[in-house]
Structure 1
Amino acid sequence: MLLGHADGYFRDKNMRVTVVYNHFGPNCNQRMPRIRYGYAHVVNNLYREWSKYAIGGSMNPSVKSEANLFIAPKSRNNKEITWRKDSIGNKESWKFYSVGDIFENGASFVETGAGRAKPNYNGEQTFTVVNAKTVRSLTRSSGALKCIKRSRC
């Protein structure tokens, strides 16, 4: 899930995206999502056994990870959730932060940046964020579609 057109597409600085109620994994590699510029609110998702990273960015994005469940791979050394591509701007000014997330199997989230970006939802866009303890049941039917007959896939 790549959000943002290209490193040179500056209009994406105003991008606002919510990634909610997804089940990623097992064995997904990266970009769940990766954000160029803009802001992403990543909330109530289940992440299982990523390879490279789960949430990444380039071009100074802001990411609020809220009430997600991160289950790191048992057999791999990479337990870090976040990734930042070297690009324009000081990576320390980026806002990557976690609120109410649950980390299992040694998963870790490196927070960066001062201050907190907010989703700025209007009244029609507001939704209830549930406790990360309920994410397993909330995302039970999320994920890739399963084919019943191969001819229909």
Structure 2
Amino acid sequence: MPRICYGYAHVVNNLYREWSQYAIGGSMNPSVKSEANLFIAPKSGNKKEITWRKDSIGDKESWKFCSVGDIFENGASFVETGAGRAKPNYNGKQTFPVVNAKYVRSLTRSFGVLICIKRSRC
């Protein structure tokens, strides 16, 4: 779960579920674009909010948290902040395709620790 300080993060095609404090956090003037992620809030408790902002140095009015094409289940919510959208500063070689959030379950179905048969190949 990312926590961004002084920078930009483009969080794409992830499955977040059962978080305890937050799914995406920031402090010190972060810029976050959440795109095509699946957020499934915990069934119990009151931790339905996805984002978290730590009180720290920086003008909170300039902090940017935006959500584009995300899916929210079980009461999950995303509070957008900041004037305008968080925008990447990518060059042509750094761009990448984003898959629709409805496919995140199948994209992450086999996630986890990589199991190596031969150590020399890992």
Distance 2:33 2:44 in 1: 28
* TM-score normalised according to structure 2 size: 0.89
The runs of 4+ residues in structure 1 deviating greater than 6 Å are 146-153
Query: What SS does the aligned partner of 2:106 have?
Result: helix
Query: What SS does the aligned partner of 1:106 have?
Result: coil
Alpha-carbon deviation of 1:114? Answer: 0.3
User: Could you report, residue by residue, the CA deviation over 1:76-119 in whole angstroms, capped at 9, with x for unpaired residues?
Assistant: 21101000000112323200010000000000001100011221
Assess, with a 3 A threshold, how the Cα gap between structure 1 residues 50 and 150 changes in structure 2: closer, same or farther: farther
Alpha-carbon deviation of 1:145? Answer: 4.5
User: 2:90 matched to which residue of 1?
Assistant: 121
Distance 1:109 1:147 in 2: 37
User: Could you report, residue by residue, the CA deviation over 1:14-53 in whole angstroms, capped at 9, with x for unpaired residues?
Assistant: xxxxxxxxxxxxxxxxxx0001111000010000110000
Question: Identity rate of aligned residues, in percent?
Answer: 90
* TM-score normalised according to structure 1 size: 0.72
Assess, with a 3 A threshold, how the Cα gap between structure 1 residues 147 and 105 changes in structure 2: closer, same or farther: farther
Distance 1:88 1:73 in 2: 30
Aligned residues between the structures = 122
Distance 1:127 1:149 in 2: 31
- 8 Å CA contact 2:42, 2:48 repeated in 1: yes
User: 1:26 matched to which residue of 2?
Assistant: none
* Larger relative contact order (CA 8 Å, sep ≥ 6): 2
Unaligned runs of 5+ in 2: none
- 8 Å CA contact 2:66, 2:86 repeated in 1: no
Alpha-carbon deviation of 1:140? Answer: 1.2
Distance 2:61 2:113 in 1: 35
* RMSD of aligned alpha carbons: 2.8
